[in-house]
């Protein structure tokens, strides 16, 4: 992978924590080695860092095709895989991750693994059991991030599931915990009762669905946004405004959408099963969208929802 050292100046200061760690105790910086942009990371409210780009594996089969995609991502420099019990591919992801770690001699803690609690498993005991089942399928001792995939309609069950996540974090079964598909009301209810503030809210977000109000609430509580379906499932890559920006920056339409999200400090989770796309989807930090470009993308808002788990108005 060709290293790219350029860091756009419109990104969160928490980006590139890998480089930040390298600041010496006397305050000077070590000799600068170019870092691949793919190293960009975001600091979570629990102090952990999360690689800003992940390979998403929704709808990826539990077999060799997914193992190949995960391996291609790791080879390309990704250090973050976003799976879920619901995707039914934790085994394939786990096989690929464990094999890659072993073959490259990379320590486990250099790859960030996310899974999610499915809706059928809400409640304290079922949540604990589901998490252990996911760990078993991955063949891992802990997850880096475990999320409630979508909020139960039952207030008590939702809180019980969250309490299980808090305990699982205490027991070391997952390093960070968060939620997904939580709207403002779900978040506010959780915050009133939680001991641990979720580290992330994983929601559908892209220029065609910007969700400013929910983003503001997450910001206020230092809950990072994980942008799912950041390519609007590929449905907006031919939008003429996006294509025009891609030509202007000599980038692909996908890279324009991913840069938009990453430059807002979001963690971005593009899914692809195609090695060349996996690689190019991570080459998004070597250019900046200017104010005019951002205005064009701001005007793309049309409340375009692709996901069925997006349950709330906000």
Ligand X SMILES: NC(=O)c1ccc[n+]([C@@H]2O[C@H](COP(=O)([O-])OP(=O)(O)OC[C@H]3O[C@@H](n4cnc5c(N)ncnc54)[C@H](OP(=O)(O)O)[C@@H]3O)[C@@H](O)[C@H]2O)c1
Q: Is 234 in the site for ligand X (CB under 6 A)?
A: yes
- Determine which one of 78, 87, 142, 146 is catalytic: 87
Q: Which residue is associated with the tokens 């609690």?
A: 117
Contact pick of 244, 309, 312, 314 for ligand X (by CB under 6 A): 309
Site string for ligand X, 132-171 (x = CB under 6 A): -----------------x----------------------
**Nearest approach, Cβ of 183 to ligand X (angstroms)?**
13
Neighbouring-strand partners of residue 179: 148, 201
Task: Name the CA dihedral angle for 77, 75, 252, 181, rounded to a multiple of 10 degrees.
Answer: -70
Neighbouring-strand partners of residue 227: 203, 268
Q: Is 149 annotated as a binding residue?
A: yes
Among this protein's residues, is 304 annotated catalytic? no
The interface with ligand X within residues 69-128 (CB under 6 A) comprises 82
**Nearest approach, Cβ of 28 to ligand X (angstroms)?**
39
Give me the residue whose beta carbon is nearest to ligand X.
56
- The tokens for 103 are 């073959």
Q: Is 61 in the site for ligand X (CB under 6 A)?
A: no
Site string for ligand X, 240-279 (x = CB under 6 A): ------------x-x--------------xxxxxx--x--
Interface with ligand X: number of residues (CB under 6 A): 29
Alpha carbons 121 and 118: distance in angstroms, whole number: 6
Pick 20 or 312: Cβ nearer ligand X: 312
Q: Is 56 in the site for ligand X (CB under 6 A)?
A: yes
Q: Is 311 in the site for ligand X (CB under 6 A)?
A: no
- DSSP-assigned letters across all residues of 86-155: GGT-HHHHHHHHHHHHHHHT--GGGSEEEEEE-GGG-SHHHHHHHHHHHHHHHT-S-EEEEEESS--SSH
Residues 6 or more apart whose CB falls under 8 angstroms from that of 313 comprise: 183
Q: Beta 41-43 vs 112-117: how paired, if at all?
A: unpaired
Pick 101 or 273: Cβ nearer ligand X: 273
Number of H helices and number of E strands within the chain?
11, 10
The binding site for ligand X (CB under 6 A) comprises 56-58, 82, 149, 180-181, 202, 228-234, 237, 252, 254, 269-274, 277, 280-281, 307, 309
Annotated binding-site ranges for substrate:
149
């Amino acid at each position: 992978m060709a290293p790219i050292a350029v860091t756009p100046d419109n990104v969160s200061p928490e980006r590139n924590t890998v480089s930040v760690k390298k600041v010496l105790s006397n305050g000077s910086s070590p000799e600068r080695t170019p870092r691949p942009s793919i190293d960009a990371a975001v600091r979570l409210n629990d102090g952990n860092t999360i690689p800003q780009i992940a390979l998403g594996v929704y709808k990826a089969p539990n077999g060799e095709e997914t193992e190949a995609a995960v391996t291609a991502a790791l080879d390309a420099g990704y250090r973050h895989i976003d799976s879920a019990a619901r995707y039914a591919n934790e085994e394939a992801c786990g096989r690929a991750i464990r094999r890659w770690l072993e073959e490259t001699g990379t320590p486990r803690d250099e790859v960030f693994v996310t899974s999610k609690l499915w809706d059928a498993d809400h409640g304290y005991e079922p949540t604990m059991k589901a998490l252990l089942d996911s760990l078993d399928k991955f063949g891992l001792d802990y997850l880096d991030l475990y999320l409630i995939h979508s909020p139960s309609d039952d207030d008590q069950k939702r809180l019980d599931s969250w309490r299980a996540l808090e305990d699982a974090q205490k027991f070391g079964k997952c390093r960070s915990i968060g939620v997904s598909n939580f709207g403002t009301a779900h978040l506010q209810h959780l915050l009133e009762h939680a001991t641990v503030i979720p580290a992330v809210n994983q929601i559908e977000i892209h220029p065609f669905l910007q969700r400013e109000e929910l983003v503001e609430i997450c910001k206020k509580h230092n809950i990072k946004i994980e942008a799912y379906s950041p390519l609007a499932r590929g449905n907006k890559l031919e939008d003429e405004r996006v294509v025009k920006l891609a030509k202007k920056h000599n980038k692909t339409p996908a890279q324009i959408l991913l840069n938009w999200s990453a430059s807002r400090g979001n963690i971005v989770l593009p899914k692809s099963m195609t090695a060349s796309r996996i690689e190019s989807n991570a080459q998004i930090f070597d250019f900046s969208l200017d104010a005019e470009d951002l205005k064009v993308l701001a005007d793309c808002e049309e409340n375009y929802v692709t996901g069925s788990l997006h349950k709330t108005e906000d």
